[in-house]
């Protein structure tokens, strides 16, 4: 790739400013109050793809937010890379914990980012990482170095489960035909320890409701004589893990893929400092399933976590009340071979079965998806690995991530192609948290590395 470094140097300020403009639009897919902003973001992506050299770009309507689709086909006999990303973002709350407003992007220094990082909701997940691909395309088209065909599919509903994208993919197999899918929506170990994400966990997300008496009651008059839904719910939730932090739902582990000793030893070679990990989170000890390391607990093992719990009186002061209802939102992260629909059913059956007399329990499944593992001997992986070697000067480490991008397994099922996850974010970038940010260096390094993927993928596909 001729002149990639000088091209980036020359256009760096514009690359940053364009991303900053995109980050100013609050494209929060979960909150319908932001509908116009989400739609406005899709328009902005369309324009950016046109400017970057796509021949045709369309905004494809769905039952929810639209999918922006663009392509540049230079020769039908050459391979085709399909880039996927998302333009929607998580809600920014709690707002008071942000050191600068979430939709007023600013570049600030951090301990890990010597050239600074852009602070804004979506900076890393996923606007910043998605936009690296747009700028990489701009570089390749404007310097006549695009070596193969490219298709872009950028959705606006990733953070709410991608249900309309599933329909779109099933209905557009021919249009989306490709040789490899490329995504930057994950992370890497550290700026001096490049890694490629080889696995994503699956997900089952449910909401539970426990109902006791038909109305809120005086906790003195009735306390002790009727089931308190909050007491019951917390007890039920506590029983979902045993003393070794194994999940107690019958059948939950039946299909879990157990890694061999060798595979676990290989994983353990990735650089990791438990002290730094604890320090970064201000905790004095880690916590989790017995017999597994921290890196295993958050990647190759399934988990169950309460994401939110509410009920009763939470206003100022005290109110003596036994609530009629209590609720919780629970996520289960799954590993290869666990089927999310089956796990959801196992959860539902078990949770209903452990409800004591005196309460009614409802389990509402939300959304979910299968896990994914990509082989490290595919043409796509080898091309990605060579790309990192070229720009980082180091061979990247394959690493499974704990996060989920449920649509990836559907891509494999429907489009029959492998996904390569070239993430350039860091775990400390605070995605989904207050003060999300993305390193300026990481953003530019991504733009530099991506064109090499195209080059090597095309060469290796011959």
**Residue 187 is a binding residue for ligand BES (CB under 6 A):** yes
Instruction: Name the residue nearer to ligand BES (CB basis): 42 or 149.
Output: 42
157 binds, among ligand BES, Mn ion, none (CB under 5 to 8 A by kind): none
In the complex, the residues that contact Mn ion under the rule CB under 5 A are 125-126, 185
Which residues are paired to 81 by β-bridges? 150, 180
Binding mask 403-432 for ligand BES (x = CB under 6 A): xxxx--------------------------
Contact by Cβ (8 Å): 155, 27:
no
Helix (H) or strand (E) holding 297: helix 294-297
Binding to ligand BES, residues 195-214 (CB under 6 A): 200, 203
Could you tell me which stretch among 10-18, 154-162, 230-238, 390-398 binds ligand BES (CB under 6 A)? 154-162
**Residue 179 is a binding residue for ligand BES (CB under 6 A):** no
**Residue 185 is a binding residue for ligand BES (CB under 6 A):** yes
Total length of the chain = 462
**Residue 88 is a binding residue for ligand BES (CB under 6 A):** no
- Least CB distance from residue 450 to Mn ion, whole Å? 17
66 binds, among ligand BES, Mn ion, none (CB under 5 to 8 A by kind): none
Contact by Cβ (8 Å): 346, 247:
no
Residues contacting 314, CB < 8 A, separation 6+: none
Q: In whole angstroms, what is the distance from residue 349 CA to residue 33 CA?
A: 36
Contact by Cβ (8 Å): 450, 225:
no
401 binds, among ligand BES, Mn ion, none (CB under 5 to 8 A by kind): ligand BES
**Residue 158 is a binding residue for ligand BES (CB under 6 A):** yes
Cα–Cα–Cα angle for 204, 434, 428, nearest 5°? 80
Instruction: Name the residue nearer to Mn ion (CB basis): 118 or 148.
Output: 118
Instruction: Name the residue nearer to Mn ion (CB basis): 121 or 418.
Output: 121
Helix (H) or strand (E) holding 262: helix 261-267
Q: In whole angstroms, what is the distance from residue 120 CA to residue 103 CA?
A: 6
- Least CB distance from residue 243 to ligand BES, whole Å? 28
Q: In whole angstroms, what is the distance from residue 207 CA to residue 202 CA?
A: 17
Q: How many CB atoms lie within 10 A of CB 59?
A: 15
Could you tell me which stretch among 140-148, 155-163, 317-325, 339-347 binds ligand BES (CB under 6 A)? 155-163
Instruction: Name the residue nearer to Mn ion (CB basis): 125 or 138.
Output: 125
Which residue in 71, 126, 138, 157 binds ligand BES (CB under 6 A)?
126
Listing DSSP states for 320-353 in one string gives -EE-SEEEEEEEEEE-TT--HHHHHHHHHHHHHH
List residues binding ligand BES (CB under 6 A): 125-126, 158-159, 161, 185-187, 200, 203, 401, 403-406
């Amino acid at each position: 790739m001729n002149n990639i470094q000088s091209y980036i140097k020359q256009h760096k300020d514009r690359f940053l400013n364009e991303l900053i403009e995109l980050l100013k639009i609050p494209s929060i897919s979960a909150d319908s109050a932001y509908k116009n902003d989400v739609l406005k973001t899709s328009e902005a992506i369309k324009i950016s793809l046109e400017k970057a050299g796509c021949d045709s770009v369309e905004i494809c309507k769905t039952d929810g937010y639209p999918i922006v689709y663009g392509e540049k086909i230079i020769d039908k006999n050459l391979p085709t890379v399909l880039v996927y990303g998302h333009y929607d973002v998580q809600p920014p709350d709690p707002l008071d914990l942000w050191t600068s407003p979430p939709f007023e992007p600013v570049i600030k220094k951090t301990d890990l980012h010597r050239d600074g990082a852009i602070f804004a909701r979506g900076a890393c997940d996923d606007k910043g990482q998605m936009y690296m691909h747009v700028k990489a395309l701009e570089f390749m088209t404007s310097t006549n170095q695009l070596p193969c065909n490219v298709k872009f599919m950028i959705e606006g509903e990733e953070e709410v489960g991608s249900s309309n994208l599933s329909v779109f993919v099933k209905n557009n197999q021919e249009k989306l035909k490709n040789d490899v899918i490329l995504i930057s929506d994950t992370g890497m170990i550290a700026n001096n320890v490049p890694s490629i994400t080889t696995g994503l966990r699956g997900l089952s997300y449910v909401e539970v409701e426990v109902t006791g008496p038909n109305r809120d009651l005086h906790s003195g008059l009735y306390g002790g004589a009727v089931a308190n839904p909050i007491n019951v719910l917390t007890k039920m939730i506590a029983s979902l893990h045993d003393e070794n932090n194994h999940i107690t739902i019958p059948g939950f582990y039946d299909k879990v893929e157990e890694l061999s000793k060798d595979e676990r030893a290989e994983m353990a070679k990735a650089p990791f400092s438990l002290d730094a990990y604890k320090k970064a989170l201000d905790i004095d000890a880690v916590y989790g399933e017995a017999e597994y390391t921290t890196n295993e607990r958050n990647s190759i093992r399934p988990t169950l976590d309460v994401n939110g719990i509410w009920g009763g009186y939470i206003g100022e002061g005290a109110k003596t009340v036994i609530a009629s209802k209590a609720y919780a939102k629970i996520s289960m992260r799954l590993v290869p071979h666990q089927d999310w629909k089956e796990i959801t059913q196992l959860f539902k059956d078990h949770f209903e079965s452990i409800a004591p007399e005196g309460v009614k329990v409802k389990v509402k499944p939300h959304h979910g998806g299968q896990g994914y593992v990509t082989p490290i001997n595919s043409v796509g992986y080898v091309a990605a690995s060579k790309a990192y070697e070229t720009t980082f000067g180091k061979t990247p480490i394959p690493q499974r991530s704990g996060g989920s991008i449920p649509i990836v397994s559907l891509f494999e099922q429907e489009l029959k192609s492998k996904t390569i996850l070239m993430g350039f974010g860091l775990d400390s970038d605070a995605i989904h948290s207050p003060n999300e940010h993305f390193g300026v260096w990481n953003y530019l390094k991504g733009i530099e590395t991506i064109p090499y993927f195209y080059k090597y993928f095309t060469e290796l596909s011959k």
